[in-house]
Structure 1
Amino acid sequence: MKLEVDLSPTIEQQLSEVAARVWRDVVKQEVVKQQLPEYMSLGECCEYLNISRSNLSEFIKLGLQVTIINQTKRIRKSDADLFMEENKN
């Protein structure tokens, strides 16, 4: 299926700018994810999953695995990824 649409130069420019901004944001998020340690603090996990602290608390209640050593909580990247994969619709 091929769809061709003629857009005004203004609309085309705006769409191009939005696409570029979205692409930059995605690349930036991926760089941040790669820089985080394998065992993340709760704050780092929120950043990794792009969620709020209250959502992370709900995810933990729903079964997201947390490692606790001497009252220090850490979440492994692979556990966060697995939880997200298992809970997608």
Structure 2
Amino acid sequence: MEVKVSMPESFESELSQQIYAAAESAFKDMKRKADYPEYMKVSQACAYIGVSRTTLMTKLIPAGLKMITIDGSLMRFSKKSVDIFLEQHNN
């Protein structure tokens, strides 16, 4: 069954631009996430989130960002945990 919808050209053009922008944003986000390993070093986590090391350590970790610590000094951040944390704090 085929359904045809008529709409003004200006609306069709705007709709096409919105769809293109949404798709482009989704692809950029997927590429950005693929550029980082599953378990990130502190510097990689900072770049992934877009914050300084100070902000990561003084604001995000105390706010609940999960950090993996090995032997008391080796720190890693799971990409999945970072994504969950960011989603939970998305106002």
Fold shared, TM-score > 0.5 on shorter chain: yes
Is the Cα–Cα contact under 8 Å of residues 45 and 75 in structure 1 kept in the other structure? no
In structure 1, the residue matched to 2:63 is 62
Bigger Cα Rg: 2
Query: Any gaps of 5 or more consecutive residues in structure 1?
Result: 47-51
Structure 1 residue 75: Cα displacement = 1.6
What CA RMSD, in Å, does the superposition of the two structures yield over aligned residues?
3.2
Please state if 1:42 is matched with 2:45. Answer: yes
User: Once structures 1 and 2 are overlaid, which stretch shifts more, 16-25 or 58-67?
Assistant: 58-67
Identity over aligned pairs, percent: 28
In structure 2, the residue matched to 1:16 is 16
In structure 2, the residue matched to 1:49 is none
How many residues end up aligned between the 2 structures? 79
The aligned amino acid for 1:11 is F
Give the TM-score of the pair, scaled to structure 1. Answer: 0.59
